[in-house]
Amino acid sequence: MASGVLREGSSHYHLLIARNYADAWLAARRHRRPEEPALCDLTAKALSVVPWLILPGGLALVGDVSPDCPPSHLLGLVGTDSGWVTGLDKESKAALLSLIDETRLAATEELAADGWLRFAHGPWSGLWHVAPGGWPHAPGHGHQDTGGFELHFKDVPVFVDPGRGAYGETGDAARDRSAANHNTLSVDGADPYPANKPYYGDAFRKAVAGPPPEMNGDGDEVTIRHKGFQRLDGGGGLRRRWRFTEKAMVLTDDLEGGGRHRVTRCFLTPLEAEPGAGGIVLTGGRQTFHLDAPDALATVTKTTLWHAYGAGRPGYMISFAEETPLPWSGEVRLTVI
């Protein structure tokens, strides 16, 4: 895409394509091939995105996790002698590290236009992903993460994208791809957008789910707007707005429509999650947080957060679900204790 990010919706797959470009460039360089300058440009373009995908607490594993190698194997692409980079010969390693050092970061405006918003305010930093048309990429793995995000406080991951542990169209593999397993909002159990197909036209997509979503980050807030739920009987547009202070994050959702519906907001965390006074207490990384929604009760269940293909760590799913008439507005507050 224009910013250099892979059109796939996966941070790990972007690292893989960056490594593949680097492999091809280094081979052309080593054999003095005429393709070397063009491959160098492609490699630099892909490398310019990599630092934006890595938050203070580590790589945000948005989308599918590839079985090719663990994500940690590719973190040397930020310019360190680790993982895959360690195995290069001396001359190739020096050339790659020099290229990484000289490469300018992708423009944040272009990256956001391509569906990836990196935002920071005070001790908070996060990564928001929205496929540019709202519909999951096709072809692609089709994660329903519109309106989702990963959020870190200093170097502590608070809410994370869980990735996916295996490919598949049924069972856990399908659930891990759905909105039910992302930090986002669903209506009556429906994903933000329908499943995409490569033979759908833009006019058809717009008629079903409205214009492309909007995603902006400025000052102390991030805002996402989309019309994906207009396809549902009584559904309408959604605005999600995250506002930050030094010690708090407030997420406000405004959902248009009519009739009575079940609205569910999900949050996945690697921190210990225990019900406490008026909400959920999150602890880990020498930090404690309080999460609550004034008008909804939280449900806490154990889940798996994938850090490599088929390899996961324990985590928690926190969901706030309520039956409510539309239009509706709800708030979730995360406070540092």
**pLDDT tens, 241-277?**
999 999 999 999 999 999 999 999 999 999 999 987 7
CA dihedral 163, 59, 88, 5 (to 10 degrees): 80
Percentage of the residues of the chain whose pLDDT score is greater than 70? 100
User: Is the model's pLDDT at 35 over the cut of 80?
Assistant: yes
**pLDDT tens, 211-238?**
999 999 999 999 999 999 999 999 999 9
Domain ranges of the chain: 11-102, 115-336
- What does the H/E/C string look like for 50-69? HHHHEECCEECCCCCCCCCC
The confidence score (pLDDT) of residue 209 equals 96
**pLDDT tens, 79-125?**
999 999 999 999 999 999 999 999 999 999 999 999 999 999 999 99
Specify the CATH number of the domain 115-336.
2.70.98.70
Which residues lie below 8 Å from residue 295, measured CB to CB, with a gap of 6+? 322, 330, 331
User: Is the model's pLDDT at 139 over the cut of 80?
Assistant: no
The confidence score (pLDDT) of residue 114 equals 95
The confidence score (pLDDT) of residue 297 equals 86
Distance (Å, rounded) from C-alpha 107 to C-alpha 222?
17
User: Is the model's pLDDT at 54 over the cut of 90?
Assistant: yes
**pLDDT tens, 167-216?**
888 888 888 889 999 999 999 999 999 999 989 999 999 999 999 999 99
Average pLDDT, the chain: 95
What angle do helix axes 11-30 and 36-47 make, rounded to 10 degrees?
A: 150
For the whole model, what pTM was predicted?
Answer: 0.94
